[in-house]
Structure 1
């Protein structure tokens, strides 16, 4: 009887010791990242999987019916989808190069010794990126009003007739591009400026001694060494433009005649205006595929040639 009690006591002591030492150095990291992983699974992984399954279903009220690839087949024959895709790429092709080029010029100017009060200009240029987009869009709607807007008012002084900024298909696209450029140029300026500050000044000094002009230094030193920064800004700007929603939604609501209807705006209207959630999910995954392919192509075109 005494031997059995001794074994039981030993087991109890061992269990208590094990419970006290369960938080080992190997387990501690999992304890800290556990809540973040759980939240990511709930709010990111699960919605992604659920929406992918939903793209193969038709939703009517609370009833879901499996329809296979019918949503994707419908997408192939949808003229509005092709129109929104064309609009998105038209804005992308014009706006991203324009914005990156403008950001590069401003960043180089701020990095030079010619500009004073650099801190003020950096803050002022970055301010649009943190400005509430709804408020900014309302301001632009007032500025670009065809009959009472300040832009047409000032253009009248140089003999330009009123421009239908928000009601003409062509000028509506121009308006969206202008608002996007105004909003995101400062963001890219900060990134490019950080890249400029990481370029060693010794390279410019050595080039000056060798007789290289400022322009030659810019194209032979600055541009090549900013290549990783350009990759980041171009890829991120492309992804942002492919997901363009706020500006056309607030300024033009996709009009006139779907002239500013983007893929994301069409996805939103399909899901939350017409409640075709299965079809909207199919649009979303086609957009994901397009974004991934374009990003991969950009990485290959402007990536590191030495690899």
Structure 2
């Protein structure tokens, strides 16, 4: 009987320690999620919101601006994420070489963009890639082209600027994960490969990448989530232009919420579409990276 009371008291005390954290999670995470899901079945804002059922989800099928934002976001995802992942792998392998000089400097320099202000570096890129910016001056001065490129006013080049900006900022972030994982790989594996006459390129694709598979999966999933939520760079560099060529889903949610006849219900529906995409793409990535039994 005494042991039963002691266990019950211990259980109550344990829940007492956990309860404040659970209340905070319920108040600031669970309740907003449930409330936003309820909003997705409504249209309008504030006291003017009305229940429309699945009307917002049906609207997604014929909304041209949503389709444009979705296609732009997928272009950034398909083009930028593989480039960034591969570049981060190459840089991590190079920085892990034992004979590299000033290794600490190079690691810090490559990682430094990750800790810079999003707004500050976006404004810097906007200035660099303006029509009379430093990039055009350098390209024209070196004879690469005869006249400046309209980086920020041409739909194609505006996308290129956004991709370059994202890659510059986040490659070092992924590189740190790969570098930490590389340092945990047994060096004898590479020594045996060198003795067998395997070239460094083949070592990279046959040893390094397979050994980093779990980390690559993690960075791919997180990069996918980040790209689907892309907002700061197109907002500060191009404002979604020209002609919505860099408009992303997150920017469209912002416009629906605070500009152009605000509609919180429809904005929430677009938000849940991003959640759905993240879930589907994450499942696909985990399925592709699964261990296959031969």
TM-score if structure 2 supplies the norm length? 0.93
Aligned mates of 2:293, 2:117 — CA distance in 1? 42
Give the deviation of 1:271 after TM superposition. 1.1
Question: Structure 2: any 5+ residue segments left out of the alignment?
Answer: none
Equivalent of residue 15 in structure 2, options 2, 20, 30: 30
Find the counterpart in structure 2 of residue 65 from structure 1: 50
Find the counterpart in structure 1 of residue 101 from structure 2: 116
CA contact (8 A) 2:45 2:265 kept: no
Give the deviation of 1:92 after TM superposition. 0.9
Question: Structure 1: any 5+ residue segments left out of the alignment?
Answer: 1-17
Equivalent of residue 236 in structure 1, options 212, 219, 222: 222
Aligned mates of 1:250, 1:189 — CA distance in 2? 25
Give the deviation of 1:27 after TM superposition. 3.6
Instruction: Indicate whether 1:168 and 2:149 are aligned.
Output: no
SS at match of 1:62: helix
Of 25-34 and 239-248, the range deviating more from structure 2: 25-34
Aligned mates of 2:197, 2:80 — CA distance in 1? 37
Aligned mates of 2:37, 2:284 — CA distance in 1? 24
Instruction: Indicate whether 1:284 and 2:268 are aligned.
Output: no
Instruction: Indicate whether 1:293 and 2:280 are aligned.
Output: yes
Give the deviation of 1:305 after TM superposition. 2.3
Aligned mates of 1:200, 1:95 — CA distance in 2? 31
Give the deviation of 1:60 after TM superposition. 4.3
Give the deviation of 1:140 after TM superposition. 1.0
Aligned length: 288
Query: Structure 2 matches for 1:4-15, cutoff 5 A?
Result: none
Equivalent of residue 82 in structure 1, options 67, 78, 93: 67
Instruction: Indicate whether 1:128 and 2:119 are aligned.
Output: no
SS at match of 1:71: helix
Aligned mates of 2:15, 2:197 — CA distance in 1? 58
Find the counterpart in structure 2 of residue 92 from structure 1: 77
Aligned mates of 1:167, 1:212 — CA distance in 2? 48
Cα RMSD of the aligned pairs, angstroms, is 1.9
Instruction: Indicate whether 1:247 and 2:233 are aligned.
Output: yes
Q: Deviation per CA, 1:119-155, whole angstroms, max 9, x where unpaired?
A: 12111111111111111111111111112x0010101
Find the counterpart in structure 2 of residue 40 from structure 1: 25
Give the deviation of 1:37 after TM superposition. 1.5
CA contact (8 A) 1:231 1:303 kept: no
Of 175-184 and 63-72, the range deviating more from structure 2: 63-72
SS at match of 1:112: coil
CA contact (8 A) 1:71 1:279 kept: yes
Of 84-93 and 60-69, the range deviating more from structure 2: 60-69
Aligned mates of 2:115, 2:290 — CA distance in 1? 30
| Alignment CA distance shift 1:22-1:64 (3 Å) | farther
SS at match of 2:276: helix
Aligned mates of 1:60, 1:294 — CA distance in 2? 31
Instruction: Indicate whether 1:266 and 2:224 are aligned.
Output: no
Instruction: Indicate whether 1:151 and 2:132 are aligned.
Output: no
Is the radius of gyration larger for structure 1 or structure 2?
1
